[in-house]
Amino acid sequence: MADATSAAAASPEAVASHERPAGPGLAPAIDADAYLAVAAEVFDGMDAVLTDLDDGSINTTPVPGTVNPVFALVTHVHGMACYWGGSVIAGERNPRDRAAEFRATGTVAEAAALLADLRTRLPGWVAIAASGEVRDPHAPGTSRTDAAEVSAAWILQHILHECAQHLGHMEICRDLIVRGAAEA
């Protein structure tokens, strides 16, 4: 039979607000290998987008003022992951300027290096999160008002969600740019 602490931790209110469960042993289980395998698929997709672009097209938007260029999206994914995984979960200090992420420009090689950095660092963050630990829940770098209350498991899912979402954006951007160049 569940005790009052675990019942409260599993309440719909706690689940809906993404709060960290209270009490020892109540951190959600994280299958690190499965998580990293799915993350690798997403990063593989991002790398595939980069292979279709050159140093000019990676900084091009198909719809100026509304769609972010692929380089800016890669920079944002890197900044977001380094904030949530590095700063919040691991307690690293990763300065972040979210607005600047969307203005960033660079080369295909620089974008590939940002993704390679995430592939290298993510397993360490996942290992820390698997213990349920969040080393710096108050790290600066997000506009979310609930950042200090979320669990390590929620953070990992948020990182994966953001990466997958922005992979889709990168693919659409690439498709429109490549199609536009072919039609020109």
CA dihedral 170, 174, 175, 181 (to 10 degrees): 160
CB-based contacts of 22: which residues, under 8 Å, 6+ apart? 5, 8, 9
Nearest CA to 93 out of 50, 51, 141, 27 is that of: 141
Q: Which pLDDT score is estimated for 140?
A: 92
Given a cut of 80, whether residue 10 has pLDDT beyond it is: no
pLDDT at 15: 41
pLDDT band at 37 (very low <50, low <70, confident <90, very high): very high
Residue 101 near residue 57, CB atoms below 8 Å: no
**Poorest-pLDDT segment among 125-129, 134-138, 140-144, 172-176:** 140-144
Give the pLDDT score at 179. 79
Q: Can you tell me the mean pLDDT for 143-164?
A: 94
More confident residue, 9 or 173: 173
Summarize the confidence of residues 8-30 as an average pLDDT. Answer: 49
Average pLDDT over residues 173-181: 87
pLDDT at residue number 27: 54
Return the DSSP state at 150. Answer: B
Domains by residue range for the chain, with CATH: 28-183 (1.20.120.450)
* Rounded Cα gap, residues 78 and 114, in angstroms: 6
Backbone angles phi, psi at 106, to 5 degrees: 180, -165
Nearest to 70 by CA among 180, 161, 167: 167
Tell me what percent of the residues of the chain surpass a pLDDT of 70: 83
User: Is the confidence at residue 6, as pLDDT, over 50?
Assistant: no
